[in-house]
């Protein structure tokens, strides 16, 4: 087992102090958390495309100057996040805007789970989800970002 650099969060600092040389962080890369951008039916394709273009510009700016991006996160948090914490954890994240087969599979699995556990009506299969998605604005903002039908 190898130890990763200690994160500067209060809990990990306390654990590191208490455990000394026995302290180790075990990174887990087996799950990808996604943030979904959802627009209501009244949102125009133009407005959604403008939002997506802004997100993509922010992603490009972050990749071009990671230090400035981390500083912006710290500033925007208004004291909730410390620079050392953001410096330690931000590099572990990847950013992107896409509608991929992998995402559609994850959404289908989660929809089926929600339907089964909460006795929800309607279909929760791939075709039902595809019927609800509006890939046009993302396709307009970044033609390579949509890889499902």
Query: What whole-number distance in Å separates Cα of residue 130 and Cα of residue 135?
Result: 9
What does the pLDDT average to over 101-125? Answer: 91
Nearest to 96 by CA among 134, 141, 47, 129: 141
Rg (CA), the chain: 20
pTM: 0.68
Q: Tokens for 116, please give them.
A: 């089964």
3-class SS of residue 99: strand
In sequence order, the β-bridge partners of residue 146 are: 99
pLDDT band at 2 (very low <50, low <70, confident <90, very high): very low
Q: What is the C-alpha separation between 85 and 65, in angstroms, rounded?
A: 18
* 4: pLDDT strictly greater than 50: no
pLDDT at 133 over 50: yes
Mean pLDDT of 138-144: 94
- Output the pLDDT for position 66: 94
Per residue in 84-94, pLDDT tens? Answer: 999 988 888 87
Q: How far apart are CA 23 and CA 6, in angstroms?
A: 9
Count of positions (residues) in the chain: 149
Task: Give the pLDDT of residue 22.
Answer: 87
Over residues 31-82, the pLDDT tens digits come to 667 777 788 889 999 999 999 999 999 989 999 999 999 999 999 999 899 9
For residue 96, what pLDDT band results from cuts at 50, 70 and 90?
A: confident
């Amino acid at each position: 087992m190898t130890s990763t650099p200690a994160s500067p969060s209060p809990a990990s600092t306390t654990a590191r102090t208490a455990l000394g040389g026995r302290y180790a962080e075990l990174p887990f890369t087996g799950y990808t958390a996604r943030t979904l951008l959802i627009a209501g039916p009244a949102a125009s394709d133009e407005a959604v495309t403008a939002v997506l273009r802004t997100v993509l510009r922010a992603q490009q700016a972050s990749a071009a100057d990671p230090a400035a991006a981390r500083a912006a996160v710290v500033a925007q948090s208004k004291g909730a996040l410390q620079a050392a914490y953001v410096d330690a954890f931000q590099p572990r994240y990847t950013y992107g805007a896409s509608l991929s087969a992998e995402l559609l599979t994850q959404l289908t699995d989660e929809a089926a789970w929600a339907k089964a556990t909460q006795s929800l009506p309607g279909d929760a299969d791939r075709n039902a989800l595809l019927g609800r998605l509006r890939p046009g604005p993302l396709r307009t903002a970044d033609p390579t970002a949509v890889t499902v039908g």
